[in-house]
Chain A
Amino acid sequence: MAGAERPSPSPGEGSGRQAQVLCEDLQVVYPGEQGAKPVHALQDINLEVDEGQFISLIGPSGCGKSTLLRVLADLITPTGGTARINDHPPRTARLNREVGFVFQDAALLEWRRVLANVALPLELQGVPRAERQARARELIELVGLKGFERSYPRQLSGGMRQRAAIARAMSTSPKVMLMDEPFGALDQITRDRLNLELLELSQRQRMTVLFVTHSIREAVLLSDRVAVMSARPGRIIKLLEIDLPRPRTLESRETDAFERLARTGVHVLEEGFGVS
């Protein structure tokens, strides 16, 4: 698993105690367009995620989960506070290819075959053809798409497209993986299967994952911690520690400990919604 070259070294590495993802008093206010009131999407977000941790973000629709990921991926600039990845501002981390992003919509290039889609970030980075294709093949096998290298995206099912998008996001071996409801549009069985694969992948690759979901059970199954957010302006109202033993399987969901955690999660979530 030869990682892609990175243009600059990361000072955050090696010090050990450094949080890999750090948000301090993060605030995002979208300017109101055409007389509309400005939208306070995020308020006082404080979050530390250590290397290799899997953290889920859950909360009512419109509470700013996507906004938080988009700040970390340098897709939007926060209006207050700081966000840092490996002690860099998000922009530097992005230019160093330290961040991967999986969107709810697979967003594959329809005119490229799966192989070229997965290799895209490496191609954009200037990795030589043979090298990037070898890496892409590796990842395609890893996400269970072997045999579909030469298929076009339209020839794949929704779940397969999402796997290709995950492989693409992993191609530059990012340290931080941001996933915004990646399985939101899938049926339960496919979702379960991809959850299992993600469990295994994130452990094996020691990726730090920030995972947005609307399913508390999915969050509990996958995560080390679950951050529950409140409705607008979005704040983190509770960080649940998920101390279920690893490795986890789908059967982990049938334990009492799991049920307890899921129930707690639902209660906190309801608080966030303002349901009493």
Chain B
Amino acid sequence: MTRTSSTPIDTRERGWAGGRLGAALGVLLPPLAAFVVMAGVWEAAVLLFEIPAYILPAPSRIWVSLIKDGGSILGHTGITLFEAVAGFTIGSCLGALLGIAFAYSRILARGLLPYVIAANTIPVVAIAPIIILWFGHGIPSKIAVTAFLSFFPLALNMMKGLQSYDHTVMDVFHVAAASPWQRFAKMRLPSSLPYVFVGLKLNVTFSVIGAIIAEFVQADRGLGFVIMTAYRTLNMPRLWAAMLMSAIIGILFFALVALIERLLIPWHSSMRDRVRG
């Protein structure tokens, strides 16, 4: 039994690794094809029904607009991306710390949790002007807005994740005389990761939205600024190009977090389903 039994496991793992490229293609191809079809229908519709550009610019016009001042839009995109990533990182880290504090201190959680849940429901558009007033013009205030948005989802998910451990596993650690730090680092933290990534993925979306909305309120650069100025001058292809760029950074950012998730918690059931499907 011992000699032959190792084989099926090995092949399974090899099969999984070998199928990676094929799996990636399988994931990427359908949406790409759908994109081509949609762009084609859109282009044809604009031509056919002679839709004016300020209502709906054709994909080709958006593309031209993007190429024409591509350098400028790319620069604005970089700024928005930087604000989103920096705010995401700061907010998520601070949120994780608060989540850990909540998971370990019932009093703290009892006292503050209602406010955190309430704060989590404040709309960005309401809080962004206030934060910008506090942090002044420029990039730091945009980072503060995205950090604020990233803070609460991670605090809540971190807390929930740290509380979601298997109690029998905790008993195993207890019988093995594990220290509180060992329980945290080797048990509660790993079991919390699926929740943490739910929070992080929420934050990816929030932080891009947050950065752009903060730029709406006040900015002289960034995609939000481009969208606002393009709207005022009714330069719709430019507005659409900026929107496209914001979608692209959102997708790339999300893909990065999803990739890290996959590398960190391949053992989790949601990951397993994805490997199989």
Contact = CB atoms under 8 A, between A and B. Distances in A.
A109 B174 contact: no
Interface string A87-99: 0000000110101
A273 interface: no
A111 B265 contact: yes
B187 to A, nearest CB: 7
Interface stretch (A32-40, A140-148, A219-227, A261-269): A140-148
B172 A144 contact: no
B29 to A, nearest CB: 29
Interface stretch (A15-23, A118-126, A228-236): A118-126
Interface stretch (A53-61, A150-158, A194-202, A244-252): A150-158
Given A109-B169, A111-B190, A121 B5 contact: no
Contacts of A155: 9, 12
A101 B175 contact: yes
A101 B9 CA distance: 29
B68 interface: no
Given A107-B169, A110-B267, A111-B190, A100 B5 contact: no
Interface stretch (B176-184, B198-206, B225-233): B176-184
A154 B267 contact: yes
Point out which of A105, A124, A154 has the most chain B C-beta atoms below 10 A from its C-beta: A124
Interface residues of B, number: 27
Contacts of B169: 107, 109
Interface string B220-243: 000000000000000000000000
A100 B2 contact: no
A144 B168 contact: no
A147 B166 contact: no
B137 interface: no
A97 B6 contact: no
Interface residues of A, number: 32
Interface string B60-102: 0000000000000000000000000000000000000000000
Contact of A144 (B1, B3, B175, B176): B1
A151 B9 contact: yes
A175 to B, nearest CB: 14
Given A109-B190, A124-B182, A94 B3 contact: no
B272 interface: yes
B168 A75 contact: no
A95 to B, nearest CB: 5
Contacts of A172: 176
B177 A109 contact: no
A45 interface: no
Contact of A94 (B166, B168, B175, B190): B175
Contact of B166 (A101, A107, A120, A141): A107
6 contacts: A99-B175, A107-B166, A110-B268, A124-B182, A124-B186, A154-B272
Given A95-B177, A151-B9, 13 more contacts: A74-B174, A75-B175, A107-B168, A107-B169, A109-B187, A111-B190, A111-B265, A124-B177, A141-B2, A146-B2, A147-B3, A148-B5, A148-B6
Interface of B: 1-3, 5-6, 9, 12, 166, 168-169, 171-179, 182, 186-187, 190, 265, 267-268, 272
